[in-house]
């Protein structure tokens, strides 16, 4: 491990530099001389001591340094996951959590969140089929993210909004709200009614597909993670007028450990490509095709029929959803959740997130 002297001064946990009650830094980092060097360095069994030229002493527990070093972080993931195709997911026999235990016990909630974090999807069973009960579930783990679609939404094939979701047509796999600078973190679906045929939900682990691209064509994975492009939502129907634009690459990775954290994939809502130069755009289409081929492999498709009482939570930064075309009357309700607040709940229950 290697540590920079400014870094070592900046992270001093002495009472005058750091408030351990609020967990906030009191030291003004801008007042640290960028050429700072310790006057003396001393090491005992467990601790490293630095005395700076003004006499201030900084001490570091060696274990703390190991944990917080760049070299240490590089080997770790922020969020442990189990990547899946249909077979892996089905074999895992991930249990659903019951409505009562989800709402009333920390164990139920923790079990649910653990599965959700690992697989990017999770179900709650025996939920009374109403919008109010669905909202209760949502508010147990997070804050509802209000969007142009409302807070809790309730939709059927009435084309009340200028989007294909509000029809009976099939929808190919995609993530939602790619046209937001920060796409919604979690999507909640509860089918309250369906009298008719078809309408099954398709789920595909986008990170599993991306991992296959990384193995087969690493330069294509790299391109998809480097090249930013736009997604756009233009609505002009009746009272609803909206124009949203979101910019970012298809694959978003942390640079220090190359861990994927967000896939932005929606071929319907992808805007005109004008952010990729001529000499790159063809390679980008090739890379996009490779990813699409992985996402479309039948063995990666997990199909479920949503039923009243069974609420589905989808990690919209990871798992793509779609639907089969349908006939008859079909009513879906749900909402989006803010990702920060789901992760907050998970961390407070002791989960790594
Ligand atoms: C879920 N709800 C029906 C409210 C919204 C649908 C949004 C559909 C949009 N094309 C997208 O993929 O973001
Ligand atoms: O109707 C469905 O099952 C899902 C439609 C959809 O993709 C959405 O609402 O985001
Ligand atoms: Fe969608």
- Does the Cβ of 165 fall within 6 Å of ligand 1? yes
Mean pLDDT taken over the chain: 97
pLDDT value, residue 107: 98
**Domain 5-75 top-level CATH class:** alpha beta
Q: Ligand 2 pocket: which of 204, 321, 336, 337 to mutate (most atoms <8 Å of CB)?
A: 321
For the stretch 84-95, pLDDT in tens is 999 999 999 999
| pLDDT band for position 322 (cuts 50, 70, 90) | very high
Is-contact 177 246, C-beta < 8 A?
yes
* 266 CA → ligand 3 middle, Å: 9
Question: Atom of ligand 2 at shortest distance to CA of 306?
Answer: 3
* 57 CA → ligand 1 middle, Å: 56
Is-contact 169 325, C-beta < 8 A?
yes
Rounded to 10°, the helix 131-141/106-119 angle is 80
For the stretch 112-165, pLDDT in tens is 999 999 999 999 999 999 999 999 999 999 999 999 999 999 999 999 999 999
- Does the Cβ of 163 fall within 6 Å of ligand 2? no
Report yes or no on whether pTM surpasses 0.90.
yes
- Residue at token pair 């147990």: 140
Q: Which ligand has the nearest atom to the CA of 169?
A: 2
* 177 CA → ligand 1 middle, Å: 7
Look at ligand 2, atom 3, and give the residue with the nearest C-alpha.
Answer: 323
The domain 86-348 is classified under which CATH number: 3.60.130.10, 3.40.47.10, 3.30.70.260, 3.90.79.10?
A: 3.60.130.10
- Does the Cβ of 155 fall within 6 Å of ligand 1? yes
Q: Is a pLDDT exceeding 90 seen at residue 238?
A: no
The b-or-e profile of 210-248 (16+ CB within 10 A means b, else e) is bebbbeebeebbbbbbebebbbebeeeeeeeebebebeb
Percentage above 90 pLDDT, the chain: 99
* 108 CA → ligand 2 middle, Å: 27
Euclidean distance between the first and the last CA atom of the chain, given in angstroms as a whole number: 25
Question: CA–CA separation, 48 vs 13, rounded Å?
Answer: 13
Domain residue limits, the chain: 5-75, 86-348
pLDDT value, residue 5: 98
pLDDT value, residue 290: 99
Look at ligand 1, atom 3, and give the residue with the nearest C-alpha.
Answer: 165
* 254 CA → ligand 3 middle, Å: 25
* 21 CA → ligand 1 middle, Å: 43
**Over residues 98-115, mean pLDDT:** 98
Rg over CA atoms, the chain: 24
Q: Say what the alpha-carbon torsion angle 35, 39, 44, 48 is, to the nearest 10 degrees.
A: -20
Residue 209 exposed, middle or buried by CB count within 10 Å (0-12, 13-18, 19+): buried
- Does the Cβ of 177 fall within 6 Å of ligand 1? yes
- Does the Cβ of 165 fall within 6 Å of ligand 2? yes
Partners of 57 in the β-ladder: 51
**Over residues 270-293, mean pLDDT:** 98
pLDDT value, residue 172: 98
- Does the Cβ of 171 fall within 6 Å of ligand 2? yes
pLDDT value, residue 126: 98
| pLDDT band for position 236 (cuts 50, 70, 90) | very high
* 168 CA → ligand 3 middle, Å: 13
| pLDDT band for position 212 (cuts 50, 70, 90) | very high
Look up the ipTM and state it. Answer: 0.98
- Does the Cβ of 201 fall within 6 Å of ligand 2? yes
Residue 205: how many other CB atoms lie within 10 Å: 27
| pLDDT band for position 275 (cuts 50, 70, 90) | very high
């Amino acid at each position: 491990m290697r540590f920079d002297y400014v870094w070592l001064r900046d992270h001093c946990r002495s009472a005058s530099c750091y408030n351990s009650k609020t967990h906030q830094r009191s030291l003004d980092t801008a007042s640290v001389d960028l050429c700072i060097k310790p006057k003396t360095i001393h090491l005992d069994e467990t601790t490293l001591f630095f005395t700076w030229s003004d006499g201030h002493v900084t001490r570091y527990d060696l274990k703390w340094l190991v944990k917080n070093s760049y070299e240490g972080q590089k080997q770790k993931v922020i969020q442990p996951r189990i990547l899946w195709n249909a077979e892996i997911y089905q074999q895992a026999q991930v249990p659903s959590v019951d409505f009562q235990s989800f709402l009333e016990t920390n164990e139920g909630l923790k079990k649910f969140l653990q599965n959700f974090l690992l697989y990017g999807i999770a179900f709650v069973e025996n939920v009374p089929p109403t919008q109010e009960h669905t909202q209760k579930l949502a508010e147990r783990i997070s804050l509802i993210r209000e969007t142009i679609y409302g807070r809790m939404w309730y939709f059927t094939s009435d084309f009340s909004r200028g989007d294909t979701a509000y029809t009976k047509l099939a929808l190919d796999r995609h993530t939602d709200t790619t046209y937001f600078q920060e796409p919604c973190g979690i999507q909640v679906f509860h089918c309250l009614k369906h009298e008719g045929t078809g309408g099954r939900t398709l789920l595909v682990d986008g990170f599993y597909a991306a991992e296959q691209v990384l193995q087969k064509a690493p330069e294509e994975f790299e391109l998809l993670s480097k090249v930013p492009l736009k997604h756009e939502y233009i609505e002009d129907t009746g009272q609803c007028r909206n124009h949203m634009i979101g910019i970012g690459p298809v694959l978003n990775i942390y640079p220090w450990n190359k861990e994927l954290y967000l896939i932005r994939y929606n071929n319907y809502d992808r805007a005109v490509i004008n952010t990729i130069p001529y000499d790159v755009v063809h390679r980008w289409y090739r890379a996009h095709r490779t990813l699409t081929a992985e996402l479309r492999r039948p063995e990666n498709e997990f199909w479920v029929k949503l039923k009243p009482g069974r609420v589905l939570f989808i990690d919209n930064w990871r798992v793509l959803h779609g639907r089969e075309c349908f006939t008859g009357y079909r009513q879906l309700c749900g909402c989006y959740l803010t990702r920060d607040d789901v992760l907050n709940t998970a961390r407070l229950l002791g989960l790594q997130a």
